[in-house]
Amino acid sequence: MVHKVIAPAGSSQITIQTGIWARQAAGSVTVQQGETIVLVATVAASKPKEDLDFFPLTVDYREKAAAAGKFPGGYFRREGRPTEKEILTSRFIDRPLRPQFPDGWLNETQVQCIVISADGEYDPDVLAVLGASAALTISDIPWGGPLGALRLGRVNGQFVVNPTHSQMEESDLDLIYVGDSDNVVMFEGTADEISEEDFNAAMQFAQAAIQPMIAAQRELVKAAGKAKRVFQVPEIPAEIIAEAKNIVGDRLMPALTIVGKLDREAAVSAIKTEVAEKLTAKFGVDVIKKALLSNLFYEMQSSTVRSLLLDKGQRMDGRKLDEVRPLSMSVGILPRSHGSSIFTRGETQALSMATLGSMEDAQEFDAYTGGTNQKQFLLHYNFPNFSVGETGRIMGPGRREIGHGALAERSIEPMLPLTDYPYAIRISTEILESNGSSSMATVCAGTLALMDAGVPIIRPVAGISAGLCTDNDEHGNLKRHVVMTDIMGWEDAFGDMDCKIAGTEKGITGFQLDLKLRGVSLDIIAEALEKTRTARISILKQMAECIPAPRENISKYAPRIVSLRIPEDKIGALIGPGGKNIKALCDESGCEINIEDDGTVRIYGNNEEGMLIARAAVEALSAEIKVGEIYRGKVVSIKEFGCFVEVLPGKEGLVHISELANFRVKQVEDIVKVGDTFPVKCVGVDERGRVRLSRKAAMAEREREIKGGSEKENYSEE
């Protein structure tokens, strides 16, 4: 049986439907807005995996070229590995879903989202979040939803729910917001220096706007929902817990408060190893499995850290709750990079390198669902194993690295003058040490590298994270909480929140919220925003002491640029048949030349002589032959009545036989041959654009100059 519900979303509506497709899945729906449709299906294994110490959830989002009536790019003409957008979308679908599963649910679970129709206006990514919630809600999989999800824009000061791509071009906010009936569960996005006050207002608006979506899913459950599975939550026997506590004694708190990440981790690891050995010896290897030990020791560490924060107001490294770790930074540290910086905050260190390139270096990609298909600014984040003192598989960037880089990229991008800037820009960041919030360190390091490269950034950007530790009463109601500024790794692992906020002194430019809780109140988020604002301003002041403004000149190793404008009807002549002319000019000058549809020509090069050659050739192409001017021309053809001479690229005129010399010429070949060059004077242009040239007049003018004492030729060498 088919069931359909409709939820309003601003000026349009969202339709959620089940019962038609993917009926063998545990739960499946289609979500439609406009003509954009996403199919979401979820399945969970019937039994948990053996000895797992993590929840095996996989979320996969894919956009099909056929949904937009296109062929995929590439040789195979088939969708391959996920694109960056698909990876990022999969991540922000996963983050709000994961906390809603009950503790102890270890059955492998998959959520697959497939874009089957794309109208190029409504982005399907946020519809996939809503679809994932609906599919899980009506399925038999234990889950704590439903959730509402939307994208919020702000156009001319007015909030817009799920704006179209054309509306987003005018928006100064791109907020992806997910929440339940009362609280926020996840957000991420970018803004043009939105104030904390306005950001809080945006979240309040979004929280109200998702309520009809939640109501629609509850209606769908009544019509098509399945009974949830009953599962046994694995419990650790009380005698094992008691024995573990007896072995640890009172050693865990001192170990957790050792200053220095590696020393602290070594001390805790030694205790964990001892607990494992003694428990195994007493209860046997069949009882003390990896998952049991991992969960047991995690709970012991977590309760100790939380007690330290909530009861004593103390952090593992001795800092105050709102204290940022010591900062150090410098720029211009690498001789050949166009811009470079090192930024260290406590035990987190980021090395950033900025590179300027031509617009040919901008990234182009297939955009099946609308929006831009080119990126002028790229930020790539790398997290080598040595940054945390470990070994591991060495490979390309994983989903985490792509996600962290994208967060830093969208935090910095609003402050780049990309519309008028002729360069493509890339930041490559290597995390050399990590103990919390390396993505926000990347924002700071990337900003410093851009300023060192001479990129005219509007205002510097800094980022910082805030954490949360909560305590609930026996009914699950919040009893007390603390918000921490600049969390380190274990405060993230054993805490409840990682709220990353980046921005300038004027406002917020990038943001991302991750929760381990099922939701958190907007009041707590407002508190976190204020703490990150205070910390951000402090960091920006120290960055200004390192480099107060972008350098006036770019690196000598960066390509120089000359921008020209030619008539649009001359573009073909500059390019030439099959690109012959432009290729020849690039080879001759050693420069890279980019031509845009409006006639803008950009010449990139490091050699001044080559750039002069390229510039002269481009300028000559758009120049017009003027009466009275003298040019050096080249004979291109000979007729009985004279010869045709090219004086500018693609522009030629006739030198009549009577204008070849100051005496009577019997045959043109007696004076010139094809390929000869000599000065000619333009003596007329008729109404049809036909040019009359004179070698005789040019020679006479030169003779007058010589008689006048001038040894300088007064003709153009164009």
Residues of the chain with CATH 3.30.230.70: 3-224, 327-390+397-546
Q: For residue 335, which of 452, 447, 446 has the smallest C-alpha distance?
A: 452
Find which of 32-36, 39-43, 262-266, 675-679 is predicted with most confidence, using mean pLDDT. Answer: 39-43
- Confidence (pLDDT) at 718: 35
Adjacent-strand bridge partners of 593: 603
What is d(CA 484, CA 465) in angstroms, rounded to the nearest whole number? 8
User: What is the mean pLDDT of the segment spanning 46-65?
Assistant: 90
What is d(CA 145, CA 147) in angstroms, rounded to the nearest whole number? 5
**Residue 494 belongs to what H/E stretch?**
helix 489-494
Structurally, at CATH architecture level, domain 560-622 sits in 2-Layer Sandwich (3.30)
Residue 159 main-chain phi, psi, to 5 deg: -70, 140
For residue 232, is pLDDT > 80?
Answer: yes
Contact 696, 659 (CB under 8 A): yes
pLDDT-derived band at 480, boundaries 50, 70, 90: very high
What is d(CA 557, CA 350) in angstroms, rounded to the nearest whole number? 23
Instruction: Count other C-beta atoms under 10 Å from residue 677's C-beta.
Output: 13
Looking from the CA of 46 toward its CB, the CA atoms found within 13 Å total 0
For residue 711, is pLDDT > 80?
Answer: no
Render the burial of 583-594: b for 16+ CB within 10 Å, e for the rest.
eebbeebebbbb
How far, CA to CA in Å, does 279 sit from each of 100, 265, 266, 295? Answer: 32, 21, 20, 14
Lowest-confidence segment of 40-54, 394-408, 612-626 by average pLDDT: 612-626
- Confidence (pLDDT) at 712: 43
- What is the residue-wise DSSP string for 529-557? HHHHHHHHHHHHHHHHHH-SS--SS--TT
User: What is the mean pLDDT of the segment spanning 657-682?
Assistant: 92
How far, CA to CA in Å, does 37 sit from each of 8, 14, 21? Answer: 16, 10, 13
Q: Which residues contact 208 (CB under 8 A, 6 or more apart)?
A: none
Sheet holding 560-565, edge to edge: 560-565, 600-605, 592-595
The 10s digit of each residue's pLDDT in 142-176 is 999 899 999 999 999 999 999 999 999 999 999 99
What is d(CA 432, CA 351) in angstroms, rounded to the nearest whole number? 7
The 10s digit of each residue's pLDDT in 569-597 is 888 888 888 888 889 889 888 888 888 88
The token pair that represents 117 in the structure block:
């129709």
* 3 state SS of 352: strand
Question: Topology of 3-224 in CATH?
Answer: Ribosomal Protein S5; domain 2 (3.30.230)
Looking from the CA of 60 toward its CB, the CA atoms found within 13 Å total 12
What's 226's DSSP letter?
P
Question: Topology of 243-312 in CATH?
Answer: Arc Repressor Mutant, subunit A (1.10.10)
Q: Which long-range contacts (CB under 8 A, 24 or more apart) does 34-37 make?
A: 34/119, 34/121, 34/122, 34/164, 35/117, 35/118, 35/119, 35/122, 36/115, 36/117, 36/118, 36/119, 36/121, 36/122, 36/123, 36/124, 36/127, 36/369, 37/67, 37/115, 37/116, 37/117, 37/124
Residues of the chain with CATH 1.10.10: 243-312
For residue 24, is pLDDT > 80?
Answer: yes
The superfamily CATH assigns to domain 327-390+397-546 is: GHMP Kinase, N-terminal domain (3.30.230.70)
Residues of the chain with CATH 3.30.1370.10: 560-622
- Confidence (pLDDT) at 356: 94
**Cα 87 to chain center, whole Å?**
12
- Whole-model pTM? 0.86
Contact 379, 427 (CB under 8 A): yes
How far the first Cα of the chain sits from its last, in Å, is 78
Tell me what the pLDDT averaged over the chain comes to: 91
User: What is the mean pLDDT of the segment spanning 400-416?
Assistant: 96
pLDDT-derived band at 709, boundaries 50, 70, 90: low
- What is the residue-wise DSSP string for 649-672? TTEEEEEEGGGSSSS--S-GGGT-
Percent of the chain topping pLDDT 90: 65
User: What is the mean pLDDT of the segment spanning 495-499?
Assistant: 95
The 10s digit of each residue's pLDDT in 339-378 is 999 999 999 999 999 999 988 888 888 777 877 778 999 9
The token pair that represents 498 in the structure block:
């990682």
Structurally, at CATH architecture level, domain 630-707 sits in Beta Barrel (2.40)
* Angle, CA 431 vertex, CA 189 and CA 252 arms, to 5°: 95
For residue 606, is pLDDT > 90?
Answer: no
Contact 361, 424 (CB under 8 A): yes
pLDDT-derived band at 715, boundaries 50, 70, 90: very low
Q: Which residues contact 116 (CB under 8 A, 6 or more apart)?
A: 30, 37, 38, 39, 64, 67
Lowest-confidence segment of 84-88, 342-346, 406-410, 701-705 by average pLDDT: 701-705
For residue 32, is pLDDT > 90?
Answer: yes
For residue 716, is pLDDT > 60?
Answer: no
How far, CA to CA in Å, does 320 sit from each of 203, 308, 316, 349, 695? Answer: 29, 12, 10, 21, 87
The 10s digit of each residue's pLDDT in 269-292 is 999 999 999 999 888 878 888 888
What is d(CA 437, CA 349) in angstroms, rounded to the nearest whole number? 10
